Amino acid sequence: MDPAPRPNALKSMGHRLSLTKLRRALSGRKKKLQEIQEPDEPYQTTPTTTKPEEGQEEEEEEDDDDDMNEGNTVIGLLGGGQLGRMLCEAANPLGIDIAILDEHNAPAKQAHNTNRHVVGSFKDPGRIKELAARSDYLSVEIEHVDTEVLEDIEKNGVPVEINGEIVTHRPPIHPSWRTLRLIQDKYLQKEHFKSSGKTIPIAEQIAIESGDAALDSLKKAGKQFGFPFMLKARKGSYDGRGNFKVDSEDDFAEAIKALGTLPLYAEKWAPFVKELAVMVIRTEDSDGKLKNCVAYPAVETIHEDSICTKVFMPPRDVSEDICDKARKLATEVISTLWGRGVFAVEMFLLEDASLMINEVAPRPHNSGHYTIEAVPYMSQYKAQLHAVLDLPVPDKLIPRVQSSIMLNILGGAKPDSHHHLSGLARSTYDDDMDVYLHLYNKESKPSRKIGHITLTGFCSVQELEAKAKPFIDLVDQIRLDRLEATSETLRPTQETNGSAKPAEKAPVEPATDNHVEAQELSAVAASSDKPLVLVTMGSDSDLPVLKAGLDILKEFNVPYALDITSAHRTPKYMMKVADEAAGKGIKVIIAAAGGAAHLPGMISSETPLPVIGVPVKATHLDGIDSLLSIVQMPRGVPTATVGINNSTNAALLAIRILGAFVPEYQQAMKKYQVDMEEAVIVKGTKLREGGDAAYLAGMKK
Ligand code: ADP
Ligand code: MG
């Protein structure tokens, strides 16, 4: 694609006057318009920052006085969340004015006082134009904005009235709307990298047809990529929302149910060993010619429940050589885009030490928060300001500390769940580790990003991690409490006498975001009505198989807890759950797994409780692989094994075990057996008396 056509704008800051100064010039301060124009590009605009007041000419002096940040260059920002807030924090000491388009009192608005903010949605074309009319430049803190209106502003400008005259104003837009539009569609974004002429490795991908053709498309993806593969919404996704991990053909229906109304694409599974990210500053001249791409150090990002929770700089156990390659690759990627600003490049580090691009964010990013303290002379926010305004940026970005860890503060189970953590940050003073707390003044809601903590040190990242352990433990604890609270709301309601009422609905809905695999349904919670049976599975794709067994448990009023404990993807968590189950009052564990079904055996190795394995029929080998994996446990580690997909028998066996000690369960089991016997006797009588033809006809009905 050609570079974006450049706006008819004034050039770099050095040549540029802000709207306020321009207005002053036009209102008789003897400054000739030509002096502030491009010599060969007549600048026909005489913009204003606010609606012109009556009597403006006579009261120009006074009006200027009213102008809070008079003379400052104004960047209009679409979106006023925490990224905008930190941008404002960087802009304040630099004398740069930020006009924010977002809700009243949005986090960014709280951090910057100006009379230029606009109240409204950053998706509303009218409000965006209003913002453009009062800004020298436009930028974004979120990529999901209306690019049509940005394109229109760049091409046609916005009318503004100055001294009674309507003129056209074209604030330069950075990054370019072309970049924003491309990045909004993850599929096209990667197609662009593929055809950019640069060597940019991406996962194989295919577009998924919409409507009835979706199923065939998914089959094609399964054939081409094998399983699992990732089904992704092309647009509008964040924090993993919009991703669905497809483990087998059995998931197709659910995948379509979860995402089918959106334009989709499928991506080959990237078996990464780590996720890395690199922030890049992209500069270009006012003709749209690339000047430079400068990379920050590579960082390691940890995603839990699809949200970035921790960032390590430098990445742990990754060679400098790989980090250098990551930075180089990131600059290559960003050089193919348009406009100025900072960009985040998310990538996968694969087992063979090669890198693969996941996606790009055209703005400051979670993975760059650490730069506020670690690269203080040019944080990602200052870099965004300097790049957008075409102010100088360094040609190398060297951290001023040896290591740094960023921990996101996510809203916990209760509004004050994070207080202990923020309190620890406030009270920790340590010569070997500096602690920086950032709260965004957002209402705490479960999983919401409400702040972050950056820790820096002059030691290795491993040593810093060891020092930071109390912080990391608290962050993990907030998460576990949140997950447990979530699962409690999913658990069947229980009566105080200890028996469970049948739940009104299935205790868990399969997660719509199947990518959120481990622990989302974590349910080994201590509660007053303790579950007696723990039903755990290797993947939420096993849940449909377990449904029959769960129905039996409900029928017998057996309180149970649910969890996902993958033997291969979350082995530590699985062992923890197995280890703690008995102490939490669990009496029997049912564990379901498919394929290389190690879960039941591994759980059995870690608990003294009886474990019943349910072999789940996976994609290949008709479930024989799962069956043999579970049944062939070595001597000493008994694992009861039921038939393939037979969760009914697993539940019945669990109830029989409970019945050995709880008479009520034994009686209920006896009744179940009698009912079953009677049902068969009734059938036999009917068959004997009615004959086979009538019986078969009845069956068809
Ligand atoms: P978001 O827009 O929510 O950040 P991403 O496409 O970056 O969505 O995916 C979120 C996370 O899902 C990634 O950080 C990574 O952990 C995982 N993921 C995404 N794509 C793949 C893939 N092709 N293979 C394996 N994991 C993936
Ligand atoms: Mg991502």
Distance 404 CA to ligand 2 centre (A): 21
- Give every CB contact of residue 547 below 8 A, 6+ residues apart in sequence: 506, 647
Averaged pLDDT, 678-689: 88
Nearest 10 degrees: Cα torsion 458, 405, 274, 260:
-160
Ligand sitting nearest the alpha carbon of 189: 1
Q: How far is CA 309 from CA 344, 368, 579, in A?
A: 16, 13, 26
Place of tokens 């916005």: 158
Strand-pair partners of 275? 301, 348
Ligand sitting nearest the alpha carbon of 303: 1
pLDDT of residue 620: 80
With cut-offs at 50, 70 and 90, classify the pLDDT of residue 162. Answer: confident
Q: Rounded mean pLDDT of the chain?
A: 86
Distance 479 CA to ligand 1 centre (A): 20
CA R_g for the chain? 30
- CA 453 from chain centre, in angstroms, equals 18
- CA 390 from chain centre, in angstroms, equals 31
For residue 663, the surrounding DSSP H or E stretch is helix 663-700
Residue 645 near residue 546 (C-beta atoms within 8 A): no
Using a 6 Å cutoff on CB, does residue 494 contact ligand 1?
no
Q: How far is CA 62 from CA 100, 156, 300, in A?
A: 24, 32, 53
pLDDT of residue 174: 98
Q: Which residue, 597, 589, 590, is CA-closest to 567?
A: 597
Distance 240 CA to ligand 1 centre (A): 6
Distance CA 128, CA 119 (A): 10
Could you tell me where the DSSP H helices lie in 176-251? 177-184, 186-194, 214-225
Averaged pLDDT, 308-331: 98
Ligand sitting nearest the alpha carbon of 515: 1
With cut-offs at 50, 70 and 90, classify the pLDDT of residue 675. Answer: confident
What residues pack around ion ligand 2 (CB closer than 5 A)? 346
Q: Using one digit for the tens of pLDDT, what is the confidence trace for 230-249?
A: 999 999 988 878 999 999 99
With cut-offs at 50, 70 and 90, classify the pLDDT of residue 42. Answer: very low
Report the amino acid identity of residue 222.
G
- Size (the chain), residues: 701
For ligand 1, atom 8, name the residue with the nearest CA: 240
Which is higher by pLDDT, 604 or 490? Answer: 604
With cut-offs at 50, 70 and 90, classify the pLDDT of residue 358. Answer: very high
Distance CA 420, CA 426 (A): 10
Angle between the 177-184 and 186-194 helix axes, to the nearest 10 degrees?
110
Q: How far is CA 314 from CA 342, 358, 363, 377, in A?
A: 19, 19, 21, 18
- Give every CB contact of residue 140 below 8 A, 6+ residues apart in sequence: 77, 78, 79, 122, 175, 180, 362, 363
With cut-offs at 50, 70 and 90, classify the pLDDT of residue 13. Answer: very low
- Give the number of the atom of ligand 1 that is nearest the alpha carbon of residue 241: 3
Using a 6 Å cutoff on CB, does residue 146 contact ligand 1?
no
Averaged pLDDT, 210-220: 94
Q: Which residue, 467, 542, 511, 177, is CA-closest to 341?
A: 177
Residue 561 near residue 525 (C-beta atoms within 8 A): yes
Distance CA 683, CA 695 (A): 9
With cut-offs at 50, 70 and 90, classify the pLDDT of residue 486. Answer: confident
Convert 45-55 to b/e letters by CB count within 10 Å (16 or more is b).
Answer: bbbbbbebeee
Which is higher by pLDDT, 55 or 169? Answer: 169
Instruction: Look at strands 588-594 and 533-537 and give their pairing.
Output: parallel
Q: Which of 227, 247, 515 to mutate to test the pocket of ligand 1 (most atoms within 8 A of CB)?
A: 515
pTM over the 0.75 mark: no
Residue 58 near residue 83 (C-beta atoms within 8 A): no
Q: Three-state DSSP class for 376? A: helix
Distance CA 654, CA 651 (A): 5
pLDDT of residue 68: 74
Which is higher by pLDDT, 104 or 22? Answer: 104
Distance CA 283, CA 285 (A): 7
Distance 218 CA to ligand 1 centre (A): 18
Strand-pair partners of 299? 277
- Show the beta-strand stretches assigned E in 93-169: 97-102, 118-119, 137-140, 158-162, 165-169
Distance 337 CA to ligand 2 centre (A): 18
- Token digits of residue 258: 């979860």
Distance CA 106, CA 622 (A): 54
Q: Give yes or no for residue 281 having a pLDDT over 50.
A: yes
Place of tokens 């201590």: 526
DSSP 520-533: TT------SS--SE
Angle between the 125-133 and 147-156 helix axes, to the nearest 10 degrees?
40
pLDDT of residue 521: 25
Averaged pLDDT, 32-61: 33
Using a 6 Å cutoff on CB, does residue 239 contact ligand 1?
yes
- Token digits of residue 103: 């809700």
- Token digits of residue 474: 């608290």
With cut-offs at 50, 70 and 90, classify the pLDDT of residue 643. Answer: very high
Distance CA 281, CA 227 (A): 37
In 3-state terms, the chain is what percent helix, strand and coil (to 5)? 40, 20, 40
With cut-offs at 50, 70 and 90, classify the pLDDT of residue 506. Answer: very low
Q: How far is CA 305 from CA 447, 542, 671, in A?
A: 9, 18, 43
Which is higher by pLDDT, 586 or 66? Answer: 586
pLDDT of residue 51: 36
Residue 422 near residue 468 (C-beta atoms within 8 A): no
pLDDT of residue 530: 81
Q: Three-state DSSP class for 273? A: strand
Count the helices and strands in the chain (H runs, E runs): 22, 24
pLDDT of residue 662: 84
Phi, psi angle pair for 67, to nearest 5°: -75, 105
Q: Give yes or no for residue 520 having a pLDDT over 90.
A: no
With cut-offs at 50, 70 and 90, classify the pLDDT of residue 71. Answer: confident
Ligand sitting nearest the alpha carbon of 232: 1
Which is higher by pLDDT, 198 or 496? Answer: 198
- Token digits of residue 248: 């087998």
- The CA angle 555-556-559, to the nearest 5 degrees, is 105
- CA 61 from chain centre, in angstroms, equals 49
- A 10 A CB-CB count for 685 gives 10
Using a 6 Å cutoff on CB, does residue 20 contact ligand 1?
no
Distance 307 CA to ligand 2 centre (A): 9
Judge if the upstream peptide bond of residue 271 is cis by omega within 30 degrees of 0.
no
Q: Which of 243, 301, 366, 449 to mutate to test the pocket of ligand 1 (most atoms within 8 A of CB)?
A: 243
- Token digits of residue 643: 């038939």
- Token digits of residue 67: 């102008």
With cut-offs at 50, 70 and 90, classify the pLDDT of residue 146. Answer: very high
- Token digits of residue 432: 């070997």
- Give the number of the atom of ligand 1 that is nearest the alpha carbon of residue 186: 6
- The CA angle 308-313-319, to the nearest 5 degrees, is 115
Distance CA 233, CA 264 (A): 5
